[in-house]
Amino acid sequence: MSVPLSLTLKIWRQPSSEQPGGFVTYEMKGISSALSFLEMLDTLNEQLLAKGEDPIAFESDCREGICGACGLVINGVAHGPWPGCTTCQLHMRAFRSGETIFVEPFRARGFPVVKDLVVDRSALDRTVQQGGYVSVNTGSAPPANAVCVSKQQAEQAFDAAACIGCGACVAACKNASAMLFVGAKVTHLASLPQGHPERKTRVRAMLVQADKEGFGACTNTRECQAVCPKRIDVSVIARLNGEALKSIK
């Protein structure tokens, strides 16, 4: 069932954030359409290693769309052409033989390039560290069923909590805004009674940090939602804004 593909890859290579980068062209032949996109790059890397060349740096870990480590901009779309799908889950069936594929890193000021296609996304972690949690010490929790959470609330919270922290939203946004990411966390916790006590401080602290990290403002262009592998809805951004407004009072 798998078909061999011939492809021209134009891959961004950059030795480090201080040095300039550029595209390098690679011709690939006989690539099985059953491979995933990253396995195709693995294959290319094995070929490069065999020639004694420096393999292409890119990130991945789980390779099943949940850890958020992977992320490439493929033909101008973060995570590539399949909607609701991470780069690691994209399979070569999505491409036709003879096609030219551009591969670039997630670009944003908040995501400096480490090498080639690897970028530093620690800014997202630092944003969470400012308040993307419930402050509960181990041992202090009440019995689990002591607080009711309606099914609807739980579902809403889950929809937002599904974010894998990949940063595709930032990469795709014309303003490199991280509001889908921040909005997802704020919505997740604001939807649950457990998140209420810190509602105001959380949203403010996370917003201040996101600004500090150099992410842009959201102008509601919704590109983030289109590339988000977990299909997080932009309504979380509206929710975030609402929470921010309420926090002034």
Partner 1 sequence: MQVFRLFRPLATSVGQKCVMAASGLLLVLFVLGHLAGNLGVFSGRDVFNGYAALLHSVPKLLWVVRITLVVAFVLHVVVSIRLSIQNRKARGGQAYARRAWQTTSLASRTMLWAGLVLLAFLVFHLCHLTWGWVYPEHARLIDAEGRPDVYAQVVLGFQNVWVVVFYMLAQVALFMHLSHGFSSAGHTLGLNSVGSRVLRVGGVVLSGGIFALYTSIPLAVQLGVLLP
Partner 2 sequence: MKLNAKIPPGPLKDKWDHYCANTRLVSPKNKQKYRVLVVGSGLAGASAAASLAELGFAVSCFCLQDSPRRAHSIAAQGGINAAKNYCNDGDNVYRLFYDTIKGGDFRSREANVYRLAQLSLPIIDHCVAQGIPFARDYGGMLDNRSFGGALVSRTFYARGQTGQQLLLGAYGALSRQIGQGRVDMYTNCEMQDLIVVDGQARGIVVRNLLTGDVDAHTGHAVVLATGGYAPVFYLSTNGLGCNVTASYRAYQRGADFANPCFTQIHPTCIPVSGEGQSKLTLMSESLRNDGRVWVPKEKGVTRQPGSIPQGERDYYLERRYPRYGNLAPRDIASRAAKQVCDEGRGVGDSGRGVYLDFADAIASFGRKTISSRYGNLFEMYERITGEDPYHTPMRIYPAAHYTMGGLWVDYELMSTVPGLFVLGEANFSDHGANRLGASALMQALSDGYFVLPATIGNYLTDLPADDNVQDAPQVKQTRQDVCERLQWISQVGGKRSPTWFHKKLGEIMWNFCGMSRQEKGLKQALSDLSALQEEFWKDVYVPHETGFNPTLDKACRVADFLQFAQIICLDALHREESCGAHFRSEFQTEQGEAARQDAAFSHVALWRFQQDQTAKRYTEELVFEEAQPTERSYK
Which two three-digit tokens encode residue 166? 């990949």
The yes or no reply on residue 23 touching partner 2 (CB under 8 A) is no
Task: Find out whether 170 and 176 touch, Cβ atoms under 8 Å.
Answer: yes
Taking the complex as a whole, the smallest distance from the CB of residue 162 to ligand SF4 amounts, in Å, to 7
Q: If contact means CB under 5 to 8 A according to the sort of partner, which of partner 2, partner 1, ligand F3S, none does residue 21 touch?
A: partner 1
The binder of partner 1 chosen from 126, 174, 196, 231 (CB under 8 A): 174
C-beta of 60 vs 177, nearer to ligand HEM: 177
Among the candidate windows 66-74, 96-104, 143-151, 219-227, which touches ligand F3S by CB under 6 A? 219-227
Task: Find out whether 116 and 59 touch, Cβ atoms under 8 Å.
Answer: no
Strand stretches in 33-168, DSSP E = 73-74, 77-78, 100-104, 113-115, 118-119
**Subset of 131-190 contacting partner 2 (CB under 8 A):** 131-145, 147-151, 154-155, 157-158, 161-162, 164-165, 188-189
The binder of ligand HEM chosen from 219, 231, 245, 246 (CB under 6 A): 219
Query: Which residue, 184, 24, 182, 194, is CA-closest to 103?
Result: 24
Report the half-sphere exposure of 174 (CA within 13 A, side-chain side). 5
- Residues in the interface with partner 1 (CB under 8 A) total 56
Taking the complex as a whole, the smallest distance from the CB of residue 211 to partner 1 amounts, in Å, to 5
Taking the CA atoms of residue 51, residue 52, residue 57 and residue 59 in that order, the dihedral angle to the nearest 10 degrees is 80
The yes or no reply on residue 245 touching ligand HEM (CB under 6 A) is no
The yes or no reply on residue 164 touching ligand F3S (CB under 6 A) is no
C-beta of 118 vs 176, nearer to ligand F3S: 176
Q: Name the maximum alpha-carbon separation found in the chain.
A: 64
The yes or no reply on residue 166 touching ligand F3S (CB under 6 A) is no
Residue in this structure with the two tokens 């890193």, named with its chain if needed: 105
Among the candidate windows 19-27, 39-47, 125-133, 172-180, which touches ligand F3S by CB under 6 A? 172-180
Q: How far, in Å, CA of 47 to CA of 29, rounded?
A: 11
Strands 113-115 and 100-104: unpaired
Taking the complex as a whole, the smallest distance from the CB of residue 228 to ligand SF4 amounts, in Å, to 3
**Under the rule (CB under 6 A), what is the footprint of ligand HEM?**
219-220
